[in-house]
Structure 1
Amino acid sequence: MAINPLEHLIDPHKRIYWMFLLSSMVIALIFLWLNPKKRSINLSKKLWLHPSALLDYGYFIFITIFKVTVIFPILIGAKEVALWMNEFLLAKYGFIRITGFSYTQIMMLFTLSLFIFSDFTRYWLHRFLHTIPWLWAFHKVHHSAKVLTPLTFYRVHPIESLLFGLRYSLVIGLISGVFIYGFGAMISVVDILGVNALAFVFSFAGSNLRHSHIDISFGIFERFLISPKQHQIHHSKHHINVNFGGFLAIWDWAFHSLVLSKSVNKLKFGIQQNEMKYFNRLHQLILSPFYLLYRNRTK
C-alpha cells in the first residue's frame, strides 16, 4: 500500500479519488449557480484557509503515513477472516453447495450483501463512537473541525482508524467466508474500477460534499439516503447525536436517530467550547483524547 498521500487521488478505493472530487465539484458548482447567496462562504479564503481547514490538510498527511506504517500491519486481514469463517462453517455443518443461481446472480447478491452489511455495521460503530464515553473521547477529534472540507473525512484519531479497519476486515471476511462456503471460491463483486459498484456510485454522487458547506438536501429521499446536509447536521454541536448513517439513512430511521434537513436551519460546527482548546494543533488531535480520559478518570 502506497505511503504517498497524493496517491489517494488515483486510488478509486479512496474518498478523494479524482473522479469523486470532480463529480462533487460539478454538483457543487451547479448548486452554487442555483443558490448565489451561498457562493461567498464556499468560495471564501476564510473557509479554505481557516485554521481548522489547515489542520485538516496537515493531519491528512500524518494519518495517511501512520495508517500505512503502524495500523495496517497489525490489522487482521479480510482473507484470514474469510478462511476462518469458511472452515468454521465446514466444521459445524459439513460440505454444502447452494445451487440454482447463475454466476451473475451470485455476483449481484454478494455485492448487495457486502454493501448493506458494511453500511449497517458502519452505522453502529459510528453510533457507539458517540454513545460510549471512552470512544467519544477519540471521536471528538473528528467533530472538533470548525469548518468542513473533504479532508475533514480523514480527521480521525488512530484509535478510531484501527476500529474502522477492524470493522472492514470483519465485514468483508465474514460475508466472503459465508459465500465461499455456500457457492464456492469463485465469487466476486460487481465492481467499477475494482470497487464495489454500489459504493462507487454513491461515492461518485457527491460523497465529498458531506464534509463541505454545500448543504444539499435530498428532500423526501432523506429517509432512505443520507444527504450532504444531513451529515453536516451531524457535525453541528447542537445535533451531534443524530444521522449516524454512511450511505443509507434507513438505519437512522429504524433506530430513531434520523433528523431531516428541513428541520434544521442554522449550523455551528465543532464540539463544546470548553473542549475546543484541546484540539487546535496536530499533536493535540493525537494526545488530547488520552489526556481527557485520564483527567476525567481522576476527577
Structure 2
Amino acid sequence: MDSYFYTFLEEYLINPDKRTYWVYILSSIAIAIIYLYFNKKQSRVIFSSKLWLHSSAKLDYSYFILSYFIKVMMIIPIVISAKSIAFFINKNLYYEFGFNQIQNFSYENTLVLYTITLFIVSDFTRYWLHRLLHTIPFLWEFHKVHHSAKVLNPLTFYRVHPVENILFGFRYSISIGFVTGIFIYFFGSKIGLVEVFGANIFIFVFSLLGSNLRHSHIPLAYFKALEKWFISPKQHQIHHSKKYFNKNYGGYLSVWDRIFGTLKLSNEVKVLKFGLRNEQMKNYTTLTNLLIYPFKKIITRKKN
C-alpha cells in the first residue's frame, strides 16, 4: 500500500506534467488571492463550506482517489505508448522513402520547432476529441460524467469516466507518437523539448498561469483579444454551464474554437449554472453511478 501512496504523490504532486503539481497549485492560489482582493464579493462563494463540502465536491474527492487505481490497474496496461507509435511511424517512413535526414538544421532550432509542433498538434487533437465527446451520442454518455459536477474545484478535472480516459490516452499516444516519429525520421537524435522542470515549456507556462482555476468558482477572464487566442478560466467555466456546454472545447488555445465556430467570450456570459439538466443529475450522485450509468444508458438506448 505504501508503494501506491508514494507513486500517487509522485504522479500528482511531484510531476510537472500534472495539473496538481505543487508549483501549479501554489501559483493558482496566488492568482486566486490577487483576484479575490479586487473582487471581494466573490470571497463569500470561494470560502463557503457550501462549495467545498457540497455533495458534488465530495464526490470529486472520492472519485479522484478511485480513478487513480483504475488508471494504474486498467487503463495504463491497455493504452499503447507514444514511443511505440513513434517507432512505427519512423520505421515505415524509412522503409518507404529511405534515409532523408536534414543535416543543416541546428539542434536549438530543432528543439523549438519540435516543442511548438508537439504543442499545437496535441492541442488540436484534444479539441476534436473533446468536441466528438459532445456530438457523438454514445460518447456523450461517458462525457456526461465530467459535466455532471454541480460545483467546480481543481479535482473536477479528474472526474472523467475510464472510457474517456482511455480515448484521451490513445489520443495522446497517437498525436505525440506521430509527430515524434516524423521528427526522428528527419532530424534523428537531435530532437528534444524546450522544458521547464521536465515539462513542455508551453504546458508549464499555461499551468503556472492558472489552469487549475478553470475548474473553480473564480471567473478569471482575459482581455477580449486574448480570449480569441487562449482559453481563459472563465471560458472553460462557460463550457461547464448548462446553456453553453457546446462552446469552448479548446484545451489551451481558443484558436480552434474560433476557426470552427464554437468560441464564446467571457464578456458574452454573465450568469453560470453548472451541471446537466435537472432530470439527469440524479443519475450521477454516487461513485457507482459515475462508472456504471453511462453503460446502462447506452444499452437502454440500443434496446429502444
Mapped partners of 2:4, 2:263: distance in 1: 37
Who is 2:164 aligned against? 160
Who is 1:23 aligned against? 27
Instruction: Give the secondary-structure state (helix, strand or coil) at the position aligned to 1:236.
Output: coil
Mapped partners of 1:116, 1:199: distance in 2: 11
Displaced runs of 4+ in structure 1, greater than 4 A? Answer: none
Who is 1:197 aligned against? 201
- The amino acid of 2:233's aligned partner reads P
Q: 2:67 aligns with which of 59, 63, 66?
A: 63
- The amino acid of 1:168's aligned partner reads Y
Who is 2:144 aligned against? 140
Asked if the contact 2:17/2:203 (under 8 Å) is kept, the reply is no
- The amino acid of 1:272's aligned partner reads R
Who is 1:275 aligned against? 280
Deviation, structure 1 residue 193:
1.2
Who is 1:210 aligned against? 214
**Alpha-carbon displacement from aligned partner over 1:150-208 (angstroms, at most 9, x marks no partner):** 00000000000000011111111111100000001232101111111111111111000
Aligned residues: 298
**Alpha-carbon displacement from aligned partner over 1:14-44 (angstroms, at most 9, x marks no partner):** 1111111110110001000000111100111
Who is 2:177 aligned against? 173
Who is 2:233 aligned against? 228
Which runs of 5 or more residues in structure 1 are unaligned? none
Mapped partners of 2:246, 2:21: distance in 1: 29
Asked if the contact 2:110/2:190 (under 8 Å) is kept, the reply is no
Deviation, structure 1 residue 298:
1.8
Q: Which moved more, 1:151-160 or 1:7-16?
A: 7-16
Q: Which moved more, 1:214-223 or 1:143-152?
A: 214-223
Mapped partners of 2:4, 2:255: distance in 1: 36
Deviation, structure 1 residue 100:
2.2
Asked if the contact 1:3/1:64 (under 8 Å) is kept, the reply is no
Who is 1:78 aligned against? 82
Who is 1:45 aligned against? 49
Asked if the contact 1:3/1:68 (under 8 Å) is kept, the reply is no
Asked if the contact 1:56/1:152 (under 8 Å) is kept, the reply is yes
Who is 1:9 aligned against? 13
Who is 1:247 aligned against? 252
Who is 2:109 aligned against? 105
Q: 1:120 aligns with which of 113, 119, 124?
A: 124
RMSD between superposed Cα atoms in Å: 0.9
In percent, how many aligned pairs have the same letter?
A: 53
Who is 2:134 aligned against? 130
TM-score normalised by structure 1 residue count: 0.98
**Alpha-carbon displacement from aligned partner over 1:214-245 (angstroms, at most 9, x marks no partner):** 00111221000000000000000111100000
Asked if the contact 1:81/1:173 (under 8 Å) is kept, the reply is yes
Mapped partners of 2:106, 2:190: distance in 1: 12
